[in-house]
Amino acid sequence: MTRTNTEELINRTVIANRLDSITKEMGLALEHSAHSPIFAEACDFACCICDKDGELVSQLSGIPILATAGSFSVQSVLRKYKDNIKNGDVFIINDPYDGGNHLPDIGIITPVFFEESLMFFCVSRAHHGDIGGSTAGSYNPKATEIFQEGIRIPPTKLMSNNEFIIEVLDMILINTRNPKMLKSDLLAQIGANKVAVKRILEMVEAYTPAVVNKAIAETLEQTEMLTRKRIREVPDGIYRATEYIDDDGYQEEPVKIEIAVKVEGDRLLVDFEGTDKQVKGFINTSVVTATTASGIAVLWFLGSDIPRNGGAFRCIDVNLPKGSLVNPYEPAPVTLCTLTPASEIIGTIFQALGQAGPGKVPAGYARYAGPSYYGKDPRNNRYYVGFSFCSTGSGGAMKGSDGKSYMSAMSNFGGVRTPNIESNEIQYPHITRYHEMETDTAGAGEYRGGAGMRYAFELYDEGSHIVNFGDGMKFAPYGLNGGHQGSLNKGVFLHTEKPVIMESKEAPRRVAKGDQVILNSSGGGGWGNPLDRPAEKVYDDVLDEIITIKTAVDIYGVVITEEGIDYDKTNKLRNGKKLCKN
């Protein structure tokens, strides 16, 4: 290798890693400066950097469904503003029909100029507590069109010459229930982008624009080459799978996601032909979300060492039939799409690609199901909107690893953090009754899923409301390679001491002081035959109260006495069960 090639390789590696560190610093700035618990504690945001053409260069490993979508937002800005992008501009966007995921996720986009030349865009995308619409919190299970879900913001210039365009800002804020909180969080996003702009300019100053541009182009090319190599290693063919969503909140029939993953040479197509048509309820999916979810699933399968930048997506195609669940006609409602069906899209692709490479993908994760709650806090008379982040279920197992308990939905891959119980009680007028893992909810397998959760809280403000939304009350997380399903989500609303079974998608319910919400979140799916799980691990699960002694015998074939494992009876029982199966 010549000295020039060595220098270029070093530059490429250092610059790529520096950009990654900048996106991480953006995330820290956003987390530490935001007032909203959704930002500061749940960290429901993502940050990324795109090149001047809108191609993803680097992203924070936060919420994948948000970060990967950043390039779509930049491309929407470029289409609308073209040559009218100047130093000191800042853009805002959330429209799912024009570069956005769903309305609560607002993107702030800041162009980066070096000596009058546009070089990058910094993007922070974050979930906001309320962006208007007919229901506080903006999750409205009974919405039938997007206008009921909140304010739509197409690519719009929010700042010029580093000053707010006040008319634009005021128009957005007045359409929300908590304008002070929204403004504060937007300022946190703008500030995070400013941090990135400063760091990027320092890097360009040190290396020169030519060196930086060359390094980025080569990084994207290297990622594309690696992705193509991994696709070539997958046997050519068509791999099919089907998954179902409980319902859309109106129809009782399940909603079908049908996917064919077509591998040919060094290209891969995710084809949604056969997926159900768009529905009345708010589980329709924006093109951005469906495309992003597809890319996330494919790259998980191909390998974690592939950088998550635009080069990786150059050889992954996605077919989204117009008018279907994954590409609806306007103005279909879409707010739930980043949870359901984004998670189900990922899971369906996993099941398809699992046929090409068994053991490379996990079993099913818990689907999100829990309420938002809103009203006036009696302690300070302030309006609040909260979300039950503590109702997350658990992850699915994969070959070599049990599923992790207490994980966010598959579309977030654990990126959303759950808040500290005590601080959550300070921020919102409720008390946690209990919060613990639940026995016999983990999908059985050689590697078991994570255990489900039991969570209950009591509201003590008079006249508040709850809105339950999510899925997974009819379809449990799937098992793989002989592993068992996980458990189902369940919800009970204890209203004036009378229990009411909650559905996964409900209109707002009025809350009386002392009412309780009781949630049972799903355990993850299992991987492999439960009879192959080491008896010692089954015994440990019994001691940890993840499973009962009865489940140890009935499902795992492990006989446990007061003295411990009875190996003779266990071997006899397991051999008999395996013979019966064969």
Q: pLDDT digit string (tens) for 521-541?
A: 999 999 999 999 999 999 999
Amino acid at 307: P
d(CA 369, CA 63): 18
According to DSSP, the residues that pair with 373 across neighbouring strands are: 386, 466
Residues 254-307 pLDDT 10s: 999 999 999 999 999 999 999 999 999 999 999 999 999 999 999 999 998 999
pLDDT at 61 over 60: no
Residue type, 20: D
pLDDT band at 553 (very low <50, low <70, confident <90, very high): very high
pLDDT of residue 424: 86
The pLDDT score that the predictor gives to residue 458 is 95
- Sequence ranges of the domains in the chain: 3-223, 362-441+451-527, 532-581
Give the 3-state secondary structure of residue 302: helix
pLDDT tops 80 at residue 209: yes
Q: What is the DSSP letter of 491?
A: E
- Dihedral pair phi/psi, residue 114, rounded to 5°: -125, 115
- Location of structure tokens 């048509």: 277
Whole-angstrom Cα distance, residue 544 to residue 538? 10
Q: What are the residues facing 205 on neighbouring strands?
A: none
The Cα-based distances of 571 to 531, 550, 553 in angstroms read 10, 17, 11
State the pTM of this model: 0.95
Q: How many CA atoms lie within 13 A of 183 on its CB side?
A: 14
pLDDT confidence of residue 522: 97
What's the CA gap between 440 and 432, in Å, rounded?
23
| Phi, psi (deg, nearest 5) at residue 368 | -70, 140
pLDDT band of residue 515 (cuts 50, 70, 90) is very high
pLDDT tens digits for 309-319? 999 999 999 99
CA atoms within 13 A on the CB side of 84: 9
Strands, E assignment, 90-169: 90-93, 105-114, 117-127, 156-160, 163-164
H-only helix segments in 319-400: 342-353
In terms of DSSP bridges, do strands 316-319 and 267-271 run parallel, antiparallel, or are they unpaired? parallel
pLDDT of the residue at 582: 61
Give, for 573, the enclosing helix (H) or strand (E): helix 567-581
pLDDT digits (tens, 9 = 90+) for 472-505: 999 999 999 999 999 999 999 999 889 999 999 9
- In whole angstroms, what is the distance from residue 152 CA to residue 365 CA? 31
Structural contact between residues 111 and 121, judged by C-beta atoms closer than 8 angstroms: yes
pLDDT band, very low/low/confident/very high, at 114 (cuts 50, 70, 90): very high
Band the pLDDT of 2: cuts 50, 70, 90: low
- Residue 560 near residue 580 (C-beta atoms within 8 A): no
Mean pLDDT of the chain: 93
Whether the pLDDT of residue 445 is over 70: the answer is yes
Q: For the residues of 128-165, what is the DSSP string, one character each?
A: -S---SSSTTS--TT-SSGGGT-----SEEEEETTEE-
Residues 7 and 579: their CA atoms lie apart, in Å, by: 63
Phi/psi for 457 (5° steps) reads -140, 155
Distance CA 559, CA 571 (A): 9
Q: How many residues make up the chain in this entry?
A: 582
Q: Closest Cα to residue 288, out of 95, 80, 49, 100?
A: 100
38 has a pLDDT exceeding 80: no
What's residue 33's pLDDT?
Answer: 86
Adjacent-strand bridge partners of 565:
560
Region 118-129 average pLDDT: 94
Band of residue 455 on the pLDDT scale cut at 50, 70, 90: very high
Spatial neighbors of 262 by CB under 8 A, at least 6 apart, are 237, 238, 239, 268, 269, 271
Phi then psi for 41, rounded to 5 degrees? -115, -50
Q: Can you read off the two tokens belonging to residue 221?
A: 């090319």
Give the pLDDT confidence of 234-252 residue by residue, as tens digits.
999 999 999 999 999 999 9
As a whole number of angstroms, the distance between CA 467 and CA 469 comes to: 6
pLDDT at 463: 84
